[in-house]
Chains A and B, each alone.
Chain A
Amino acid sequence: MFQTFDQIFILLRDWVLGFLPVGLRPGAGVVLGVVAIVCVFPALFALTVLLERKGLGRMQNRPGPNRVGPFGLLQPIADAIKSLTKEDIVPTTANGFIHFLAPLVLVVAVFMGFAVLPMGRNMVLVDMDCALLFYFAMGASSELAVFMAGWSSRNKYSLLGAMRAVAQMISYEVILLLSGLAVVMITGSLSLTRIVEAQNQYTGIFPHWNIFTPWGLAGFLMYAIAATAETNRSPFDLPEGESELVAGYHTEYSGFKFALFFLGEYLAMFSISGLGSTLFLGGWSAPFSFLQWVPSWIWFFSKLMLSIFVFIWMRGTLPRLRQDQLMNFAWKFVLPFTLYNLMVTALWRFLGEGWQRWVVCTVLVVAGYVLLGRVSMRREHFGPRSYRYAE
């Protein structure tokens, strides 16, 4: 019974495939999976936009949208109709073809990332050996789409926003990769399904999630910081800081293309949260051994939504960073600490089972965090500004 619920989507797929000739089945299976991803995540996007607006409102002691439908539940539909019926404006001096291509490339690159995320037991579209590498390769491609959007608009705000976005994404992608690498070192595999299976074990009632280890907790924190920056979310939303750059690289986009950028931004948030929960929060595994009867995909999506809620929470709390603060934080604190954490992870690996490694690694991680925080994030007295490239 519980088994059926756990595998309900797989069974559904197999049932549909049963009507097709045998030769078509593998291809049709992939197509069905793609269709499911393309339907589920935009729906989740609509829900998340509403949740974000309501949640942010509550954090600022406002009710948030509450007019369209009961409790404002139909707001996403109204938003969708609005953005689809708006005029699609392309600036006359814009580079039309690239301007058109940029949102498509972004959304496609982001969607590709979902292909390797295990969303439940046996629920992964492509079980790849190099899944993590594939994911980061797709993440790297979306940077180019951002640049294309900013450059082709022929607008200073767009270009500035795009350059900020690209510089930020490159800096933090290094951190994202290195913090993920710690997990790869322990699991010994780049395959995300293997990484989840390695965490799907229990001591007593507690799971072997990576976040419950000293290096995993540190890595997860660094991953969360880098993920926030990578998706251009507040407090790292400089590329689209409204007060400075209108809307950053998508200033010159309207109507459906703007909606695509918006969709791409949220999809990137989903996929990066999904990867984060796969790497550190045990993916689709249950938080306690006695809760294993709950379908695995429910756990995956609840972890995803929990991460999204943390994103919203951070957005409601923190003010935007300045560009130099952003870069200093990345290169002076987060990156060195992630590298240090990698070394601690290696130590964890070689200390073997036993309580010693818990003590040693905890002490090392905490000491490193405190020391590095003291040393590299010292308040500095800023002299007159110097402009390196804008002369």
Chain B
Amino acid sequence: MLGEGILRGLAETARNFFGSYVSKQRYTTVEYPEVRIAPIEAARVFPFLVYDEGMKDGGRPEWEAGLRCTSCQICEKECPPKCIFIEKSKEKKPDAFGKQQFYPVRFDIDISVCMSCQICVEVCPFDSIKMDTQFELATDDRFGDLLVHVDKLAKSNSYYNSIHPSEASAIDHHREETKAMLAVKAKAAAEAAAAKAATAAAKPPAAGEGA
């Protein structure tokens, strides 16, 4: 008969209405600022820059010394909404592998423009830019606080490990391997150079050329 479905639907909502007072399991929401759902590992919001801890480079702060970014500007070019602004440094500094690299003097992300597509992460050859899970970024200063500068963007590798453990540990593992391989190569090169020096004693060895 006409209207049967409507009655059944009304009964269903009535059951929800009264049920939500009785059983807490029915609740689909949490009281957000007080109660939080643990963030899932694959969550992604806006990009940040990873730095390695324990690096020293003169008087620079730790994050600046350990920044993985070499300011290659691939992410800047690939970014679909063009929200990344990078300024390359004039001089170089050693990276985690001991190699001399450029570093960003300016690295800004306009997170009001960013669309969280993760393309910058995909294209980064240095595992430097990664997606953050921080989402409480509301501010009343659109041109100040939503244009995030490098000092705010830089976050430690241990933080990265804490938010995306499996992904970060895979990368760490890979980097350790690379480092070990480089060490072996450097050792071999040094030995070869030493042998060469012993025989010719002409040129100093070029460190790190094997990378």
A residues contacting the other copy or chain, number (CB 8 A): 18
Name 4 extra pairs, CB < 8 A, besides A58-B16, A317-B13, A369-B1. Answer: A55-B17, A317-B10, A373-B3, A374-B2
A residues 56-79 with Cβ under 8 Å of B? 58-63
Q: Does A370 contact B (CB under 8 A)?
A: yes
Q: Given A313-B14, A317-B12, check contact A61 B27 (CB 8 Å).
A: yes
CB pair A61 B20 closer than 8 Å: yes
Q: How far is the CB of B1 from chain A (nearest CB, A)?
A: 6
CB pair A62 B28 closer than 8 Å: yes
CB pair A61 B16 closer than 8 Å: yes
Q: Which residues of B contact A373 (CB under 8 A)?
A: 1-3
Render A367-379 as a binary contact track against B, CB cut-off 8 A, 1 for contact. Answer: 0011001100100
Q: Does A20 contact B (CB under 8 A)?
A: no
CB pair A317 B17 closer than 8 Å: no
CB pair A313 B20 closer than 8 Å: no
Contact of B29 among A62, A313, A316, A318 (CB under 8 A): A62
Q: How far is the CB of A57 from chain B (nearest CB, A)?
A: 8
Complex Cα distance, B2 from A58, in Å, reads 27
Q: Given A61-B27, A62-B27, A313-B14, check contact A377 B20 (CB 8 Å).
A: no
- Nearest CB in chain B to that of A60: its residue: B16
CB pair A63 B27 closer than 8 Å: yes
- Nearest CB in chain A to that of B2: its residue: A373
Q: Which residues of B contact A55 (CB under 8 A)?
A: 17
Render B13-26 as a binary contact track against A, CB cut-off 8 A, 1 for contact. Answer: 11011011100001
Q: Which residues of A contact B (CB under 8 A)?
A: 55, 58-63, 313-314, 316-318, 333, 369-370, 373-374, 377
Q: How far is the CB of A209 from chain B (nearest CB, A)?
A: 22
Q: How far is the CB of B194 from chain A (nearest CB, A)?
A: 73
A-B CB pair tally, cutoff 8 Å? 49
B residues contacting the other copy or chain, number (CB 8 A): 19
Q: Does B80 contact A (CB under 8 A)?
A: no
Contact of A313 among B1, B10, B31 (CB under 8 A): B10
B residues 10-50 with Cβ under 8 Å of A? 10, 12-14, 16-17, 19-21, 26-29, 31
Contact of A369 among B2, B10, B21, B28 (CB under 8 A): B2
Residue with the greatest number of chain A CB neighbours at <10 A, chosen from B3, B17, B28 = B17
Complex Cα distance, B26 from A141, in Å, reads 45
Complex Cα distance, B13 from A314, in Å, reads 9
- Nearest CB in chain B to that of A315: its residue: B13
Q: Which residues of A contact B9 (CB under 8 A)?
A: 317-318
Complex Cα distance, B3 from A374, in Å, reads 11
CB pair A316 B27 closer than 8 Å: no
CB pair B13 A61 closer than 8 Å: no
Contact of B28 among A61, A317, A374 (CB under 8 A): A61
Q: How far is the CB of B137 from chain A (nearest CB, A)?
A: 21
Q: Which residues of A contact B6 (CB under 8 A)?
A: 317-318
Complex Cα distance, B16 from A55, in Å, reads 10
Complex Cα distance, B10 from A313, in Å, reads 7
B residues 62-88 with Cβ under 8 Å of A? none
CB pair B1 A314 closer than 8 Å: no
- Nearest CB in chain A to that of B15: its residue: A59
Residue with the greatest number of chain A CB neighbours at <10 A, chosen from B1, B20, B21 = B20
Q: How far is the CB of A308 from chain B (nearest CB, A)?
A: 15
CB pair B2 A316 closer than 8 Å: no
Residue with the greatest number of chain B CB neighbours at <10 A, chosen from A61, A62, A313, A333 = A61
Residue with the greatest number of chain B CB neighbours at <10 A, chosen from A59, A314, A370 = A59
CB pair B12 A377 closer than 8 Å: no
Q: 22 A-B pairs, CB-CB below 8 angstroms?
A: A58-B16, A58-B20, A61-B19, A61-B20, A61-B26, A61-B28, A61-B29, A62-B20, A63-B20, A63-B27, A63-B31, A313-B10, A313-B14, A316-B13, A317-B6, A317-B10, A317-B12, A317-B13, A369-B2, A370-B1, A370-B2, A373-B1
Q: Which residues of B contact A316 (CB under 8 A)?
A: 13, 17
CB pair A63 B17 closer than 8 Å: no
Q: Which residues of A contact B14 (CB under 8 A)?
A: 313
Q: How far is the CB of B133 from chain A (nearest CB, A)?
A: 24
Q: Which residues of A contact B17 (CB under 8 A)?
A: 55, 58-59, 313, 316
CB pair A313 B13 closer than 8 Å: yes
Q: Which residues of A contact B10 (CB under 8 A)?
A: 313-314, 317
Q: How far is the CB of B31 from chain A (nearest CB, A)?
A: 8
Q: How far is the CB of A321 from chain B (nearest CB, A)?
A: 12
Q: Which residues of B contact A62 (CB under 8 A)?
A: 20, 27-29
